[in-house]
Structure formats: structure tokens, C-alpha cells
Amino acid sequence: MTIPATSPQASTISTDSREMTAAELDNAGLLHAGENVMISRFAVFVPADELGVIRPVVVGDGARIGAFAVVHGGTTIAERARIEERAVVGKPEHGYAVGRIRSGHGGGTVIGSGVVIRCGAVIYAAVGIGADTVVGHHTVLRTGVRVGADTQLGHQL
């Protein structure tokens, strides 16, 4: 299942930017999950970015999302990918970061098939990670970063 989580299904609603459980996200029609997906009941979803744009989350067949992981709207997690505990994926950058001011615009985060995002990693919005890559513990990937397939990133980079 590969459904791009981009603007056709996105809407602008500034009143509902709260955190949601997987069940709440699904009830709102914003969770598109494949077969054999495992999402911890303690995982958190934030469908709206800082500008109030609400986007769905797509989770492919066999993917896993661990306890206390935070997944933001506009994120696509491909088949067999694993987001471990306390990782943050698809977070919109807001404010000053790395020499420029970020607007808080979210979306466009793609986690490839078989990717492992280790505990405590932070993956900002508009990041693309190729298939079968491992992102180490506490690694930070800033907005717009692209990581190729079959890559191993160390921890605390």
C-alpha cells in the first residue's frame, strides 16, 4: 500500500491540532493503514502542522510504530518499516533553525520500506529515507534531508 500523504486529502482546519491516538486518527479518516500493521496504544499522532493544515498518515503493510513514538500528519511509512519507542517522525520545523526561519509547514515525509528508526531519533518534515536504512538512536535529520537506500546512520550525529 503506497498512498502519498499529500495535498489531495489535506485540508486546512486550524481548530484541531491536538494529539490523537491511532483509533482517533482512524475515526477521523486520517489513518490509512495496510495489513498486519502494529501500532502501540501509546503512540501519538499529530495531524496538523503549525499552520493548521491537516494531513493523513499512511502506514504500509507490516509496519510497526512503538510506544510513545510521535508521528506527524503528511508522513508515509512504507511496508515493514519500524518506528521505535520515543522517536519523532515528520515534525514540522518552526522558528529559527540552521541559518533560516522555518514556517512550521509539515508534510512530505517518506520512510522507505524496511527502514528502522531507532529510539529517540527525530525526523523533521519533508525528509526522505530510502529502503532498508537504519537511523540510529537519537539521530536528528533536519527538514529536506534525503538519505539513500541501504544506509546506516550512527547515533547522536
Model pLDDT for residues 80-113, shown as the tens digit of each residue: 999 999 999 999 987 776 677 667 788 899 999 9
> Running DSSP on this structure, what letter comes out for residue 135?
E
- Average the pLDDT over 20-26 and give the result: 97
**pTM, entire model:** 0.85
pLDDT in the model for residue 64: 98
pLDDT in the model for residue 48: 92
Element (H, E) at 115: none
pLDDT in the model for residue 105: 80
Domains in the chain: boundaries: 28-128
pLDDT digit string, tens, across residues 29-41 = 999 999 999 999 9
Q: 3-state DSSP: the chain helix, strand, coil percent, rounded to 5? A: 5, 35, 60
Q: How confident is residue 51, by pLDDT bands cut at 50, 70 and 90?
A: confident
Instruction: Give the integer Cα–Cα distance in Å for 108 and 59.
Output: 14
How many alpha carbons fall within 13 Å on the CB side of residue 115? Answer: 27
pLDDT in the model for residue 10: 41
pLDDT in the model for residue 5: 37
pLDDT digit string, tens, across residues 142-156 = 998 999 999 999 865
Please, what CATH class does the domain formed by 28-128 belong to? mainly beta
pLDDT in the model for residue 106: 81
Tell me how many degrees the CA angle 50-52-21 measures, rounded to the nearest 5: 85
Q: Please enumerate in sequence order all residues whose Cβ is within 8 A of that of 92, keeping only pairs 6 or more positions apart, or say none.
A: 49, 50, 72, 102, 104, 105, 106, 107, 124, 125
- Cell 511509512 found at: 77
